[in-house]
Amino acid sequence: MIVKYFAYFRKDAGCKEETLLLAPLRALELLEKLSEIHGQRLQKSLLTTDLTEIHPDVIFLIDGRNIDFIDGKNSMISENAVVSLFPRVAGG
């Protein structure tokens, strides 16, 4: 599983991307795992303060599809998926 970070999430995680050997898991579970690996700064960006929800300003893509259009925080991520994590940004 490849996890890619963008914008200020790169500073929070300390890297642009990483490869993780993980069994299939749900979106929220992945963010919990990433918080364990990278610490509180990333956790604060990715999860709500009670740690039960994905932070509303996270855009979470699994193989390019936003989890909002899959199964939200329960969306399943396969072993070989590419996950992209963005803060809420905009431009145009």
Partner 1 sequence: MYGLIGRLLRVNLTTGVVAEEAISESMAKKYLGGRGLGTKIYMDEVAKDTDVFSPDNKIILLTGPLTGTFATSAGRLMWITKAPLTGTIGCANSGGEFGPELKFAGFDGVIFEGKSEKPVYLYVNNGKAELRSAEDLWGKTVFETTDQLVAATDPDAKVCCIGPAGENRVLYAGIMNEKNRAAGRGGLGAVMGSKNLKAVVARGTGGIKVADNAGFLAACTEARDKLKAHPVTGAGLGAYGTEILVNIINASGGLPINNWRDGAVDKNADDISGETLVEKYLVRNKGCFGCSMACGRVTKVKDGPYKSSGEGPEYEAAWALGSSCGINDLAAICKVNFICNEYGMDPITLGSTFACAMEMFDKGLLTVDEMGGNLVFGDAPSIVEFALKTAKREGFGDKLAEGSYRLAESYGAPELSMSVKKQEMPAYDGRSLQGMGLEYATSNRGGCHVRGYLTSPEILGLPVKLDPLVTEGKAAMLKIFQDLTAVVDSIGICLFTTFGMGLPEIGKMLRTCTGWDLSDEEILATGDRIWNLEKLYNLGQGFTKADDTLPPRLLHEPLPEGPAKGKVCELDVMLPEYYNLRGWDKDGVPAKAKLTELGL
Please give the residue ranges that form the binding site for partner 1 (CB under 8 A).
Answer: 4, 6-8, 10, 16, 57, 59, 61, 63-66, 68-69, 84, 86-92
Least distance to partner 1 from the beta carbon of 82, Å?
8
Question: Closer to partner 1 at the Cβ: 23 or 92?
Answer: 92
Report the distance separating Cα 63 and Cα 91, nearest Å.
Answer: 22
- Tell me the closest approach of the beta carbon of residue 2 to partner 1, in angstroms: 12
Closer residue to partner 1 in complex, CB, 23/69: 69
Position 16, amino acid? K
Q: DSSP label at 47?
A: B
Q: How far is Cα 77 from Cα 3, in angstroms, rounded to an integer?
A: 11
- What residue has token string 């690996």? 37
Distance CA 65, CA 39 (A): 26
Q: Provide, rounded to whole angstroms, the least separation between the CB of residue 70 and partner 1.
A: 10
State which residue, 36 or 57, has the beta carbon closest to partner 1.
57
